[in-house]
Amino acid sequence: MLKNRYICSPYDLFDVLLKTNAMKRILLISSVLLISCSLSVLSANKNKWKPLFGTNLSDANYNPEVWSEKDGILGAVKDESIWTTTEYENFELDLEFKTDEATNSGVVVYCTDTKNWIPNSVEIQIADNHSEHFKNAKPYEKCGAIYGHLGASKDKVVKKPGEWNRMHIKCEGQHITVTLNGQKVTEMDMSKWTSGTTNPDGTKIPSWLPKPFAELPTKGFIGLQGKHGNSLIWFRNAKIRSL
């Protein structure tokens, strides 16, 4: 009688199963590695620095008759702000700015209403602390302060008009840290600002900022304030990355 060529021994069957399971393990490991690599790439892209307003202001909401960019320097001729088209939360913002005599400007974060931004955002103050105009200013009106709420811990860290300064702002939920020219000048926990009229240190909050910071959303648009009063302001190298 002829031997059935399709009949295999138990040893052969075991060998086939072993090889099959090994192949499954290889496929499983390959899939896991592929997914891990993909997640790593996504994470790296998420944490990568990018221009705050995109290339050639492509990601900016602004009035072109007020704001313009030339040779990488951004400036305004009126007191209007330029805004991101994207809302941000948990981020690092890095930029350079140059003041004019008596400049009064700012960087705005967590803005939920760009048409009525003053009571619906947090402003990090930019000011020419060296001018007579700011000689008797309140601490929360000087450069690096959280305007109306918290003064900077150091004065005149900002350079004199005509010199470039570097500002780094880190926003993690209700925690905001401001570093000016390499020195940490302001650190705020918004949850401590439960009043819309009085700061934790007892000083009065300006009447046009009635919303308690503890209740403000920690996600919003980012903006730069333009020419305020008779003084100009210039920005360059504004970039952002997610945390």
Q: State the average pLDDT over residues 130-146.
A: 95
User: What's the rounded Cα separation, in Å, for the pair 105 and 155?
Assistant: 17
Given pLDDT bands bounded at 50, 70 and 90, which one contains residue 187? very high
Q: State the average pLDDT over residues 192-210.
A: 98
Given pLDDT bands bounded at 50, 70 and 90, which one contains residue 116? very high
Q: pLDDT (tens digit, 9 = 90+) per residue, 29-53?
A: 655 455 554 555 445 566 899 999 9
Q: What is the pLDDT of residue 24?
A: 60
Taking the alpha carbons at both ends of the chain, their separation in whole angstroms is: 76
3-state SS assignment for residue 168: strand
Q: pLDDT (tens digit, 9 = 90+) per residue, 204-221?
A: 999 999 999 999 999 999
Q: What is the pLDDT of residue 32?
A: 45
Q: What is the pLDDT of residue 61?
A: 98
Q: What is the pTM of this model?
A: 0.82
Count of CB atoms within 10 A of residue 37's CB? 10
Q: What is the pLDDT of residue 229?
A: 85
Given pLDDT bands bounded at 50, 70 and 90, which one contains residue 15? low
**Helix, strand, coil tally for the chain in percent (to 5):** 25, 35, 40
Query: What token pair was written down for 93?
Result: 């913002």
Q: What is the pLDDT of residue 197?
A: 98
Q: State the average pLDDT over residues 56-68.
A: 97
Looking at 34-43, 82-91, 115-124, which range is the least confident one?
Answer: 34-43
What is the share, in percent, of the chain residues with pLDDT greater than 90?
79
User: What's the rounded Cα separation, in Å, for the pair 42 and 51?
Assistant: 18
Q: pLDDT (tens digit, 9 = 90+) per residue, 221-230?
A: 999 999 988 8
3-state SS assignment for residue 110: strand
Distances (CA, A) of 237 to 44, 91, 93, 145: 21, 16, 10, 21
Q: State the average pLDDT over residues 73-95.
A: 97
3-state SS assignment for residue 179: strand
Q: State the average pLDDT over residues 91-110.
A: 97
User: What's the rounded Cα separation, in Å, for the pair 150 and 155?
Assistant: 13
| Residue 225 and residue 108 in contact, taking contact as beta carbons nearer than 8 Å | yes
